[in-house]
Amino acid sequence: MAPTLSPEQVATIKATVPVLAAYGETITRQFYKNMLAANPSLKSIFNHTHQATGHQPRALAGSLFAYASNIDDLGKLSPAVELICHKHASLYVQPDQYKIVGKHLLETMKEVLGDAATPEIMEAWGVAYWQLAEIMIGKEAGMYEETHGWTDWKDFKIVRKENESIEITSFYLEPVDASLKLPLFKPGQYISVQMFVDELEGGVWQARQYSLSDAPGKNYLRISVKREEGVEIGDSKSMTHPGYLSNILHDVKQVGDVVRVSHPFGDFFFDEKERDKDAPVALISAGVGLTCLTSILNKLAAENSTRPISWIHVARNSGTRAFKSHIDGLVASNKRIQTILFDSEPSVDEVQGQDYNIEGRLDLDKISSDVLFTKNDKAQYFVCGPTQFMLDVEAKLKSFGVVGERVKMELFGTGGVPRI
């Protein structure tokens, strides 16, 4: 067990907050460079694109700053720690890897800060690192136990590819090992999909998280992946694009091909046991953010839920909107479901009132309170889309009197949703 921070060490950590504000990203960029050079096997865990673009060093720098700022009240970091632990578990991060990270992080802090990193500061940060590491190792151990033995990557075969829009394709995945029992994941959660990328130096396994887009209880796991424009497989300039692996799925992987899959994880989900069974649910999304919400909607529809449900979505137009006919079918069979569709750039052949409801970006001011359930203090809101979209939706809901704990948001990629 790691030693506990003394009051003096807490004060020392707090005193380094301005230093982290000034040098945090310099430290984390050099840290990743040093650690991955010395431990190339870890390249399979860390996202190559996020390394190349600087997204991951920035996220880690932000995390260190937040940790130091709240070292005397770690409860404030619980949501962020929960999110990170789910990400780690989906990549099968192991306790020994925390030792490697800690070694190189502390060495890099000393390297960058030089004499300013006094023995007292380094000792305090060593204790602080292992205080957080042991919390996360414990949480992740509990998550691995809940997988009932699915504690490593499993081979899954692509058994079906289906175009959902001009940008989004669904991949139906079934385990190669027919004896593997698929878990009853919580709707809204994701899996990691791992593929070998020959184009990276020496060839490297890379993983990405994709939301499960269908209800649990099927004989397959379904992900629905957006193709990002401007990516050419094999082009070195494209390899740092955030959609590189999604384009491999679209262009290279075919029915019959095998990919590696993690157990489902994720702290964004709908849990019937935690919700008032009569409480309305509003599912609000932009673009490909609808994938995790489709899982929630399909689950509720399969159970013939009697709770009021609003499906509110914005896409550029009908060509880019996935699952339109499927959701229309759910609405036709369940009168408790209502939809409001925004088109930010309607195509010339679309008909308002038929293909979509409202032109323009998603604007909650244009939706009645009956559809938004803002007069019901039990209503739950699940929001997914670009970061700023989610923050704007949250702020607008708060202006309508919705308390923050009734709004849950998902963020794809590294880090978490910044709080207002």
pLDDT value of residue 232: 83
Bridge partners for 161 per DSSP: 171
Please write the tens of the pLDDT for every residue from 296-324: 999 999 999 999 999 999 999 999 999 99
Mean pLDDT of 237-241: 81
Mean pLDDT of 10-25: 96
Higher pLDDT, 413 or 400: 400
Mean pLDDT of 386-408: 94
Q: Are 261 and 193 in contact (CB under 8 A)?
A: yes
**Residue 151: pLDDT above 90?**
yes
- Cα gap 282→334, rounded to integer Å: 15
pLDDT value of residue 242: 78
Two tokens at 360?
A: 């323009």
pLDDT value of residue 420: 39
**Residue 418: pLDDT above 90?**
no
Mean pLDDT of 2-6: 84
Query: With pLDDT > 90 as the criterion, what percentage of the chain qualifies?
Result: 83
Mean pLDDT of 150-169: 97
Mean pLDDT of 120-129: 97
- Cα gap 276→207, rounded to integer Å: 36
Mean pLDDT of 136-163: 97
**Residue 353: pLDDT above 80?**
yes
Q: Are 240 and 252 in contact (CB under 8 A)?
A: no
3-state secondary structure the chain: CCCCCCHHHHHHHHHCHHHHHHHHHHHHHHHHHHHHHHCHHHHHCCCHHHHHHCHHHHHHHHHHHHHHHCCCCHHHHHHHHHHHHHHHHHCCCCHHHHHHHHHHHHHHHHHHHHHHCCHHHHHHHHHHHHHHHHHHHHHHHHHHHCCCCCCCCEEEEEEEEEECCCCEEEEEEEECCCCCCCCCCCCCCEEEEEEEECCCCCCEEEEEEEEECCCCCCCCEEEEEECCCCCCCCCCCCCCCCCHHHHHHHHCCCCCCEEEECCCECCCCCCHHHCCCCCCEEEEEEHHHHHHHHHHHHHHHHCCCCCCEEEEEEECCCCCCCCHHHHHHHHHHCCCEEEEEEECCCCCCCCECCCECEECCCCHHHCCHHHHCCCCCCCEEEEECCHHHHHHHHHHHHHCCCCHHHEEEECCCCCCCCCC
**Residue 199: pLDDT above 60?**
yes
Please write the tens of the pLDDT for every residue from 138-150: 999 999 999 999 9
Q: Which residues are catalytic?
A: 98, 140
pLDDT value of residue 2: 67
pLDDT value of residue 230: 79
- Give the pLDDT band of residue 414 (cuts 50, 70, 90): very low
- Give the pLDDT band of residue 417 (cuts 50, 70, 90): very low
pLDDT value of residue 274: 67
**Residue 412: pLDDT above 70?**
no
Q: Are 68 and 14 in contact (CB under 8 A)?
A: yes
Residues sharing a CB contact under 8 Å with residue 35, sequence separation 6 or more, in sequence order: 42, 100, 101, 104, 105
Bridge partners for 342 per DSSP: 314, 358
Q: Are 257 and 157 in contact (CB under 8 A)?
A: yes
Q: Are 381 and 312 in contact (CB under 8 A)?
A: no
CB-count exposure of residue 411 (10 Å: 0-12, 13-18, 19+): middle
pLDDT value of residue 411: 62
Please write the tens of the pLDDT for every residue from 28-61: 999 999 999 999 999 999 888 888 888 889 889 9
Q: What is the mean pLDDT of the chain?
A: 93
